């Protein structure tokens, strides 16, 4: 390896040589966790890198790749000769990212015994994963309902307030809601595990949230900077989410969905899985309710999650986060609402309702209903999504 280092204008500091070479290997085109592990099966990172530069692949990798071996060997060799380790490292340092490697300092304890540990992790923000705070993953569908969103916010807020690190995937829907809740509490900082490079914000609509998580907590990725979203990167990300968490909480999941991958990974790693029960008629809860039927423990409030962590005493004390969900009746959340608005709120229930159905239930004229709903929306008790009305447990 010293051969190629001597060619470089920027010298790689000796301490980060392993990290730099791993990052460079990970940054090769068409590289993924499995291929990377294959390249490192027998060699150290430096050795593996010089093999790639020389245009050679370990026999085992060659065998596994089959027909893809030859084009990949060529691709990797050209890419490796094109961009030196030092250049890769300089760009990582410049972007403010750090690299932790398997067996190296800063590598999360939780992943040491993982069945498929990431060889390296790129991280941005603060080293939240270094401390020994408990971690809970909150996962769920991107296409959530207002109910799921509210529950995710509440759980995120309550857990963070109780000093629990909320781990999630920074995706749309439940992930974003959980992060928002955790940020809002101002307690333990959240951790986002993403499936793209740390400089590729995906989905772009979450940019602001992503930046706030970096400011306060930590965002980690197995993928090198510049890696865009691919079909397989999210399931791969989900295993890290499960691996990092002490407990996994599913808020809402459709009958098929990425959060079920996370659950499978969690079970494989013997992580307890809690599931928030959902309305039986809601498609967004079909998968999560099935998990409950299959024997997952229900999460009916913060206390259930803290209990699973063995932290019940550490709750934030009396406050929104600690109130068990079953004690919060609709009437309490809608305090101070009177007249038509109260009637509409009562008829609304906790599932998305079309105004037509609400008009039929309350027998209010469209104008009176319009006014009632407007009042409820102003108070943050109701939200409208694509024409449907959803009950909200509070503004956020």
Q: Which two tokens stand for residue 242?
A: 């499960």
CA distances from 63 to 28, 68, 95, 326 (A): 19, 10, 36, 57
Indicate whether 146 belongs to the interface with another protein (CB under 8 A).
yes
Q: Measured from the CB of residue 344, what is the shortest distance to another protein in angstroms?
A: 12
Residue 377 CA to residue 382 CA, distance in Å, equals 5
Question: Of the candidates 145, 168, 196, 265, which one interacts with another protein according to CB under 8 A?
Answer: 145
Indicate whether 290 belongs to the interface with another protein (CB under 8 A).
no
Indicate whether 341 belongs to the interface with another protein (CB under 8 A).
no
Could you give the string, one character per residue 364-383, with x where binding to another protein holds by CB under 8 A and - elsewhere?
Answer: --xxxxxx-xx---------
Question: Of the candidates 240, 241, 390, 391, which one interacts with another protein according to CB under 8 A?
Answer: 390
Residue count at the site for another protein (CB under 8 A)?
A: 48
Cβ contact 348:355 at 8 Å: no
Cβ contact 180:156 at 8 Å: yes
Q: Which is nearer to another protein, 146 or 321 (CB)?
A: 146
Indicate whether 226 belongs to the interface with another protein (CB under 8 A).
no
Angle separating helix axes 207-216 and 174-185, nearest 10 degrees? 40
Indicate whether 51 belongs to the interface with another protein (CB under 8 A).
no
Q: Which is nearer to another protein, 133 or 368 (CB)?
A: 368
CA distances from 50 to 6, 41, 172, 175, 193 (A): 13, 15, 41, 40, 31
Q: Measured from the CB of residue 369, what is the shortest distance to another protein in angstroms?
A: 8
Beta strands in the chain (DSSP E): 98-101, 120-125, 135-139, 165-168, 191-194, 218-221, 247-250, 273-275, 297-298, 382-385, 388-391
Indicate whether 170 belongs to the interface with another protein (CB under 8 A).
no
Indicate whether 385 belongs to the interface with another protein (CB under 8 A).
yes
Residues that bind another protein (CB under 8 A): 141-146, 148-149, 153, 172-173, 176-177, 180, 203, 205-206, 208-209, 212, 252, 254, 282-285, 352, 354-357, 359-360, 366-371, 373-374, 384-388, 390, 396
């Amino acid at each position: 390896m010293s051969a190629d280092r001597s060619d470089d204008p920027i010298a790689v500091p000796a301490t980060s040589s392993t990290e730099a070479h791993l990052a460079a290997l990970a940054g090769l085109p068409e590289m993924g966790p499995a291929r990377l592990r294959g390249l490192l099966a027998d060699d150290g990172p430096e050795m593996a890198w010089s093999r790639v530069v020389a245009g050679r692949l370990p026999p085992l990798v060659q065998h596994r790749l089959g027909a893809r071996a030859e084009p990949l060997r060529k691709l990797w060799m050209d890419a490796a000769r094109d961009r030196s380790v030092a250049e890769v490292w300089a760009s990582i340092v410049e972007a403010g990212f750090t690299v932790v490697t398997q067996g190296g300092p800063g590598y999360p304890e939780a992943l040491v015994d993982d069945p498929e540990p990431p060889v390296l992790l790129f991280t941005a923000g603060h080293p939240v994963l270094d401390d020994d705070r408990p971690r809970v993953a909150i996962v769920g569908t991107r296409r959530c309902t207002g109910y799921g969103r509210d529950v995710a916010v509440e759980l995120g807020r309550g857990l963070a307030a109780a000093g629990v690190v909320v781990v999630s995937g920074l995706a749309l829907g439940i992930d974003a809601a959980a992060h928002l809740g955790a940020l809002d509490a101002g307690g333990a900082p959240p951790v986002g595990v993403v499936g793209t490079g740390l400089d590729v914000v995906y989905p772009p609509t979450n940019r602001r949230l992503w930046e706030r998580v970096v400011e306060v907590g930590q965002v980690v990725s197995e993928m090198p900077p510049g890696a865009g979203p691919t079909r397989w990167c999210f399931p791969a990300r989900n295993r890290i989410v499960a691996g990092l968490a002490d407990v996994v909480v599913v808020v809402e999941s459709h009958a098929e969905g990425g959060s079920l991958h996370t659950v499978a990974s969690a079970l494989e790693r013997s992580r307890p899985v809690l599931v928030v029960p959902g309305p039986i008629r809601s498609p967004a809860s079909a998968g999560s309710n099935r998990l409950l039927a299959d024997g997952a423990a229900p999460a009916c409030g913060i206390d259930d999650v803290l209990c699973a962590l063995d932290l019940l005493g550490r709750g934030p004390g009396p406050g929104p986060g600690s109130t068990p969900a079953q004690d919060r009746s609709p009437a309490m959340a809608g305090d101070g609402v009177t007249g038509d608005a109260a009637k509409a709120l009562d008829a609304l229930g906790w599932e998305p309702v079309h105004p037509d159905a609400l008009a039929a239930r309350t027998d209010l004229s469209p104008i009176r209903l319009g006014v009632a709903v407007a009042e409820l929306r102003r108070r943050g008790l109701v939200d409208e999504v694509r024409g449907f009305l959803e009950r909200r447990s509070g503004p956020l």
